[in-house]
Amino acid sequence: MTAPPGLVVEVRQEVPLQCSPVKGVCRLEDLKVKPLHRLDNRGTPCALGLIRATEVMEALPSGAVLELLSKDVYAPYEVPAWAGKYGYRILKQEQRGIFPFRYYRFLVEKP
């Protein structure tokens, strides 16, 4: 098949999916939880970070998910307490990186 001059035709080949053996996830798009907004608090103290997180969560629609990043060593204790106080639900909490670049990642859902 030839295209008229000046027309670009893109040919895509189907690539078979190579699924991960972990929970059957093939692509990141297959995950059900997609953060709507990311708040990177890795450079701020946790108290200030939670104030910023509260402001962001108030602006998000119901059912939205916020990805919250923090380097504060008390974040694993303070963020769940903050979420419980405001009625938010923590979908995922994990520690990433190695010392001294370790940080915490939370997925918080607004009811």
Find the angle CA(16)-CA(36)-CA(63) to the nearest 5 degrees.
110
Q: What is the pLDDT of residues 15-68, one digit of tens each?
A: 444 555 555 545 555 455 566 788 888 888 778 889 999 999 999 999 999 999
pTM exceeds 0.75, yes or no: no
User: What is the distance between the alpha carbons of residues 26 and 30, in angstroms, rounded to a whole number?
Assistant: 7
How much is the pLDDT for 26?
A: 55
How much is the pLDDT for 104?
A: 94
**Which residues 6+ apart lie within 8 Å of 100 measured at CB?**
none
Q: Of all helices (H) and strands (E), which one includes residue 79?
A: helix 75-86
- Provide mean pLDDT across the span 88-109: 92
